Structure 1
């Protein structure tokens, strides 16, 4: 990030009437300095100016430990007459752009948090309900290696519900590869269902598993 720190003279006061503690015959001047900080997003002027006495001939700064009581009193008086800076804090164009972007982002976050949720679709509501006898779902099953198919896509029907156990029957025609649900039969099912329990249910899926973990069924749509 662009960063620049510089010190500039705010004002000066003639101090020739005061005795120079280093070289008595040479006049002094009281200079007040202010610090300005430039950054990519803003410019900052120090609110308070710092003063120092300088030898008018050589320009050398006179150490504060050498200041006389008259010099200190003069400093206190003139410090109240130092002009105020034109500004203390000022945003740059880039700073305003960054601020507007931050405000816009936070505004969007607050708006998203306060706005009412979108209404759920009929499909989502249907998938969130517990399966009931007669319900027909589309999905696929995965089974352990054995005499039957290990994978099948198609329709399933709930034949019986006993507490949290669901007896699910597969369609008599299951595809070994994924196909659109419209291309698969959803009218004829096996006579007996396999007992399974729900392991996960959300608005877009229902996962079921048999007690021996030999069969898992995944519903993704409801008829």
Structure 2
């Protein structure tokens, strides 16, 4: 009977891995067959453990190959680019900047209005129109919104709707939402809501 100790090594294109622990196996000298561990005696187990512990340590357990380092560098660069794209501030267009500015007298916007329905009504809105709106007066945080005299019941391109003539008196409203894409104003009496998406 003889004892054979060894370590395993796995090689891939990107890395080489050596086993951390040495392995011990008993072989029958006459038959040259491995003796299964279930047949080991206590002395055999102790002897194998002692010899396995004395096997020189490998020069490394895990090491990247040249290809592995290239792959790691590419992955790091990819994650770096994604992180930069995620964290860098997005540049706003001139239209978005204009939409985020506080409305002043004379500002004109394109969008739609929705009239609030009566409490007992079966419809969601009482009136609907698309067209241009103008801020005709400002009192603190109250904006007087005047509708164009050329409002459409159906959505049309803003270029096709008149933006020169407006109602003389506007509806007093307050801003309920303002982003670079939409400005929403609701009448103080909640009778109508204005949704505008473009500023002239």
For this structure pair, what is the TM-score category when the shorter chain's length is used for normalisation?
Answer: 0.7 to 0.9
> Between Structure 1 and Structure 2, whose CA radius of gyration is higher?
1
Of 145, 157, 160, which residue of structure 2 is paired with 1:183? 160
Cα deviation, residue 209, structure 1: 0.8
Partners of 2:22 and 2:194 lie apart in 1 by: 78
Instruction: Output aligned runs, 1:33-182, within 5 Å.
Output: 33-36=6-9, 44-58=17-31, 59-61=33-35, 63=40, 65-67=42-44, 75=51, 79-80=55-56, 84=58, 88-89=61-62, 99=72, 102-113=75-86, 115=88, 117-145=89-117, 150-182=127-159
On the 8 A contact 1:51/1:79 being kept in 2, the answer is no
Cα deviation, residue 40, structure 1: 10
When residues 30 and 197 of structure 1 are mapped into structure 2, their CA distance, relative to the original with a 3 A threshold, is same
Q: Structure 1 regions of 5+ residues with no counterpart?
A: 1-27
Cα deviation, residue 30, structure 1: 2.0
Equivalent pairs counted in the alignment come to 189
TM-score by length of 2: 0.75
On the 8 A contact 2:4/2:27 being kept in 1, the answer is yes
Residues 67-115 of structure 1: CA distance to partner in whole angstroms, max 9, x if unpaired?
A: 499x6798379634x8x48x74366999789756643441222221454
Greater length-normalized contact order (CA 8 Å, ≥ 6 residues apart)? 2
Cα deviation, residue 219, structure 1: 1.1
User: How large is the RMSD of aligned CA atoms in angstroms?
Assistant: 3.6
Partners of 1:170 and 1:74 lie apart in 2 by: 94
Q: 1:202 aligned to 2:179? A: yes
When residues 133 and 53 of structure 1 are mapped into structure 2, their CA distance, relative to the original with a 3 A threshold, is same
Partners of 2:77 and 2:162 lie apart in 1 by: 52
Q: Structure 2 regions of 5+ residues with no counterpart?
A: 119-125
Q: 1:215 aligned to 2:192? A: yes
When residues 171 and 36 of structure 1 are mapped into structure 2, their CA distance, relative to the original with a 3 A threshold, is same
Partners of 1:68 and 1:220 lie apart in 2 by: 81
TM-score by length of 1: 0.68
Partners of 2:130 and 2:176 lie apart in 1 by: 19
